[in-house]
Amino acid sequence: MKNTQTAHTGRHFLQIPGPTNVPDRVLQAIAMPTIDHRGPEFATLGKEVVSGMKRVFQTEGTVVIYPSSGTGAWEAALVNTMSPGDKVAMFETGQFATLWRQMAGRLGLEIEFVPGDWRRGVEPARVSEVLAADPEHRIKAVCVVHNETSTGVTTNIPAVRAAIDAARHPALLMVDTISSLASIDYRHDEWRVDVTVGGSQKGLMLPPGLGFNAVSEKALEVAKSAKMTRSYWDWAAMSETAQTGYFPYTPGTNLLFGLREALKMLLDEEGLPAVFARHSRHGEATRRAVRAWGLELLCENDAEFSNSLTAVLVPDGFDADRLRETILDAYDMSLGTGLGKVKGKVFRIGHLGHFNDLMLCGTLCGVEMGLHRAGVPHKPGGVAAALEYLSAV
Ligand SMILES: Cc1ncc(COP(=O)(O)O)c(C=O)c1O
């Protein structure tokens, strides 16, 4: 079979769980001439995107936009609120929780890392236990990944919040929403999250390159006395943007043009409730296809299924990356690789961002044909199961 990476005919299917497909009109917005980031036109843009992002985070509070990847926004959350030697509680939900933990370690924080098997979200009971064992309040933050992109498992954030409240513990709650923001319902204010971390390249339908923090009043207060060295990431320098529209350094001007367009699509045209419902429908259709193929979902708990991606286990003795290669070569579709502990064992189907029923159908067809071509044991009928569901609801 010819390698289609060098011979594209028709459109490539980018079905990794981010970066996601960027709508043409967002690409066109990004292609506009760069403007003076100290001029009046930029001030309007800056204010508009900050206020749009507040609606996405469902917050009235502070939103900071960095010209960075999501990893930068992770770092910003920690360095603005912590002091050297502070302790944080983190939970091993998958590869991204593990990477955030590694970062915290490199920054010199002490970490209580609660082990997990990568098939479940954070258990609120474990949060309660960890906090109950900390009567001196040495733990300064509870850090949770809302949607583990490596596993397709979500964590119930209100339940984590309730566990912190029940323990009467003052730790900040920090949540990574990099692969859930603008795809799965998320409420920064209502759930009383202190720092929410986001990125541009997933539900927001933009290329990579913007990182976000939504910040509570409590976290802003903590930041005033936090002693960790910070400069580029300092919220104090960035917090004026909502008022003035200007950034303390050169912003990602053209990505912000794209963000303005994407926000128009998400907030004003489709509306967030419809965005969440669309993702939920596509998540369910995908899971029905996987079950009909007789394959196993990595996520073990029905209440924690991710609606932005699905991680699928291949049968023992088969290599998920070989399957992905077959699908790329034969059908020009990129699926997400298994990361860290589940490398070779799972492939991930991204169904988030700029996506519709027929794109999902094409994606599932590519998987079904690929399973057949790669000789991975499965039952036929996954696509049919998804079609039946999509046609009915
Ligand atoms: C949940 C989650 N957190 C953090 C990151 C890291 O973000 P970035 O790769 O943009 O630095 C990712 C990237 O995919 C992610 O999915």
Model confidence pLDDT, tens digit, residues 225-265: 999 999 999 999 888 888 899 999 999 999 999 999 999 99
- Look at residue 2 and tell me whether its pLDDT is greater than 80: no
Q: Which structure tokens are listed for 285? A: 């259709």
Amino acid symbol at 197:
V
Helices and strands, counts by H and E, the chain: 14, 14
Distance in angstroms (rounded) separating the CA atoms of residues 66 and 50: 11
> Residue 265: exposed, middle, or buried by beta-carbon count in 10 A (0-12, 13-18, 19+)?
middle
Distance from Cα 350 to the centre of ligand 1, integer Å: 14
Report the pLDDT value the prediction gives residue 1, as an integer from 0 to 100: 45
Distance from Cα 288 to the centre of ligand 1, integer Å: 27
Distance from Cα 283 to the centre of ligand 1, integer Å: 20
Average pLDDT of every residue of the chain:
97
Q: Quick one: pLDDT band at residue 7, thresholds 50, 70, 90?
A: low
Q: What are residue 25's phi and psi, to 5 degrees?
A: -70, -25
- Look at residue 27 and tell me whether its pLDDT is greater than 90: yes
208 in ligand 1 pocket by Cβ < 6 Å? yes
For ligand 1, atom 15, the nearest C-alpha belongs to 178
Report the pLDDT value the prediction gives residue 3, as an integer from 0 to 100: 52
- Look at residue 8 and tell me whether its pLDDT is greater than 50: yes
Q: Quick one: pLDDT band at residue 128, thresholds 50, 70, 90?
A: very high
Distance in angstroms (rounded) separating the CA atoms of residues 346 and 258: 33
**Minimum-distance ligand 1 atom for the alpha carbon of 74:** 4
Characterize the bridge pairing of strands 110-114 and 87-91. parallel
Q: 20: left (phi > 0), else alpha (psi -120 to 50), else beta?
A: beta
For ligand 1, atom 7, the nearest C-alpha belongs to 70
Please state, for a pLDDT cut of 90, what percent of the chain lies above it: 96
- 353 near 202, Cβ under 8 Å? yes
Q: Which structure tokens are listed for 392? A: 């009915």
Report the pLDDT value the prediction gives residue 9, as an integer from 0 to 100: 86
Distance in angstroms (rounded) separating the CA atoms of residues 273 and 310: 21
Distance in angstroms (rounded) separating the CA atoms of residues 4 and 255: 30
pLDDT digit string, tens, across residues 203-221: 999 999 999 999 999 999 9
Distance from Cα 199 to the centre of ligand 1, integer Å: 7
Mean pLDDT of 39-58: 97
Mean pLDDT of 280-300: 98
Q: Which structure tokens are listed for 319? A: 């290599």
- Look at residue 186 and tell me whether its pLDDT is greater than 50: yes
Query: Which ranges constitute the DSSP H helices of 171-309?
Result: 217-225, 235-238, 241-244, 253-263, 272-293
- Count of CB atoms within 10 A of residue 262's CB? 28
Report the pLDDT value the prediction gives residue 239, as an integer from 0 to 100: 81
Distance from Cα 27 to the centre of ligand 1, integer Å: 22
Distance from Cα 178 to the centre of ligand 1, integer Å: 6
pTM of whole model > 0.75?
A: yes
- Among 14, 66, 71, 153, which is best to mutate for testing ligand 1, by the most ligand atoms less than 8 A from CB? 71
178 in ligand 1 pocket by Cβ < 6 Å? yes
Between 160 and 393, name the one with better pLDDT.
160
CA 89 to centroid of chain Cα atoms: 20
Please state, for a pLDDT cut of 70, what percent of the chain lies above it: 98
Distance in angstroms (rounded) separating the CA atoms of residues 239 and 143: 22
Q: Please enumerate in sequence order all residues whose Cβ is within 8 A of that of 250, keeping only pairs 6 or more positions apart, or say none.
A: 37, 67
